[in-house]
Amino acid sequence: MPQHAQNTRVCRDCDGFPVVAITTGTRHQDGTRVTLRVTCPACQGTGHAHPERKQEVSI
């Protein structure tokens, strides 16, 4: 029986990879690549999903 139960809730938006380094194509003067670090806006770089509030009832 396959089990999908996890101990920690992983953020759905980034699937557990909250910080992504993007290469811009340019290089620093020392030859290293210039990367932009983008953090997931949903979990704000934590990688874990926030517990949803249950008080979201629209009237």
Per-residue contact string for residues 13-52; x = within reach of Zn ion by CB under 5 A: xx---x---------------------x-xx---------
Asked if residue 10 binds Zn ion (CB under 5 A), the reply is no
Between CA 33 and CA 2 the distance in angstroms is 42
Q: Is 31 helix (H, G, I), strand (E, B) or coil?
A: coil
Choose between 13 and 23: whose C-beta lies nearer to Zn ion.
13
- Residue 11 DSSP label: P
Longest Cα separation, the chain: 59
Residues that bind Zn ion (CB under 5 A): 11, 13-14, 18, 40, 42-43
